[in-house]
Amino acid sequence: MPQPDDSNASRLSTEDAFLELLTDTLETMERPARGQFLERFLKSIAHVDVNEARSLEIWDQVLARKRELTEQTGKNVALQAALVDVLASANLLRLPILMEYEELRKLQINAATDPLTGLYNRRLFDDYFEKELNRSQRYSHHLALVVFDLQRFKQVNDSFGHPQGDVVLQMVATTLRNSMRTSDYGFRLGGDEFALLLPQSDTEQATALSRRLRAAYAVAVEPLGLGFPLLLDYGLAVFPDDGEKQDVLFRVADERLYQLKNATQTPSPGSPASPATTTAAKQAAPTPRSEPSPSEAAKQSSERRRWERVSLGGTRAYALIGEGVETTARVLDLGYGGVALESSHPEQLAESFIAVLHVPILPPVRVNLRRVYFGSMTAGNTRVGCAFVT
């Protein structure tokens, strides 16, 4: 690494200072004289042979690009970087003597990506959203937008500090990358807000991916031992079903995100639940067949709070129960803590049993389940809530 007195570091500093001085000097010159100078200047430093008018145009682009890169990266970008970027973009640079291409590439990456997560930033989100939406309109393809944020992220920062908050954000990025196709785009919009663009994905496909991401993230953060659930909420909108413009699709996805957040928000540990939350919980909770003991009730309540259910109604999800596949049950919903089954003969289910879950998008998975509660359903069937057993 060059030291402060290194000759290379000194040379680069001199070049930067020279170009900054050049900028100030050019501002004092009449435009015709400025054009004559820039024509000779570009030819001498980069073998770019253009006329006076084009030289003036290039210089204006360089100054604008310097301001843009400085704003994007949050630090003062050298004029030489902006100059090389403009010349290279216009296919005019044949002899890169001002700076190495690798340095320019790093600068371009820094301007386009979020430094903490490595995902694309908000600026590229707007650019790619517009590009993919135009492509989808042109070829009559679906385009899905999914927006995410974290429940209780502020509580992580308050309880464990911002370094731990950075860790959980990086884990979101890792979860997104591990589930994306090569044609998908992942973004950090800011704070704990993320987004995916999924070309040629309809509502069903986008929903399945979002649910899988939510479950995968819950599993990923569990070893952190935070003491409270850290849930990845999502909302999605699909072109053309939900709208045909960027702002409409983003608004629909954002509204659905907060619908899910409000439906699944649980009170902080030790804080009383609001009347609305308590009422909703009572309406959602199944009616047990018998009154459990206080210790069992507390245990069941704790497990229910862990479950953020993903409804599988309207799908063909089912479970094969028993080693010899003796019983079949419909899968009602699924979460990272367990699964709910619909059974016409719940008495045949042991307290603990093995099942093979067949859920859309995912391959069949063999799980160990433990019964937690029974709940009455219409048509005489019973809802059986089950917890995963490791």
**92-119 pLDDT, tens per residue?**
765 544 444 555 556 556 667 888 898 9
Pairing of strands 338-343, 352-358: unpaired
> What is the model's pTM?
0.48
pLDDT-derived band at 3 (thresholds 50, 70, 90) equals: very low
pLDDT, residue 303, reads 45
pLDDT, residue 93, reads 66
d(CA 55, CA 52): 5
Residue 91 has pLDDT above 50, yes or no: yes
| Pair 113, 121: CB distance under 8 Å | yes
d(CA 296, CA 305): 14
- Percent of the chain at pLDDT > 70 equals 75
d(CA 279, CA 68): 51
**Least confident stretch, 34-38, 42-46, 113-117, 186-190:** 42-46
| Pair 204, 120: CB distance under 8 Å | no
What are residue 131's phi and psi, to 5 degrees?
Answer: -65, -50
pLDDT, residue 279, reads 39
| Pair 253, 237: CB distance under 8 Å | yes
User: Please, which residues bridge with residue 320 across strands?
Assistant: 328, 356
Residue 297 has pLDDT above 70, yes or no: no
Name the token pair of 140.
């009559």
Which domains occur in the chain, in start order?
8-111 (no CATH), 122-264 (3.30.70.270), 306-389 (2.40.10.220)
Which residues neighbour 146 within 8 Å (Cβ) at sequence distance 6 or greater? 195, 196, 198, 206, 209, 210, 234, 235, 236, 253
Residue 386 has pLDDT above 70, yes or no: yes
Mean pLDDT rounded to a whole number for the chain: 78
Buried (b) or exposed (e) across 276-295, using 16+ Cβ within 10 A? eeeebeeeeebebeeeeeee
For residue 240, is the peptide bond before it cis, meaning its omega torsion is within 30 degrees of 0? yes
Q: How far is CA 362 from CA 234, 292, 311, in A?
A: 19, 35, 15
Name the token pair of 261.
């957040």
Count of positions (residues) in the chain: 390
305-322: average pLDDT:
72
| Pair 260, 236: CB distance under 8 Å | no
pLDDT, residue 255, reads 93
pLDDT, residue 285, reads 35
Q: In what order do the strands lie in the sheet with 232-239?
A: 185-190, 193-199, 143-150, 232-239
**137-151 pLDDT, tens per residue?**
999 999 999 999 998
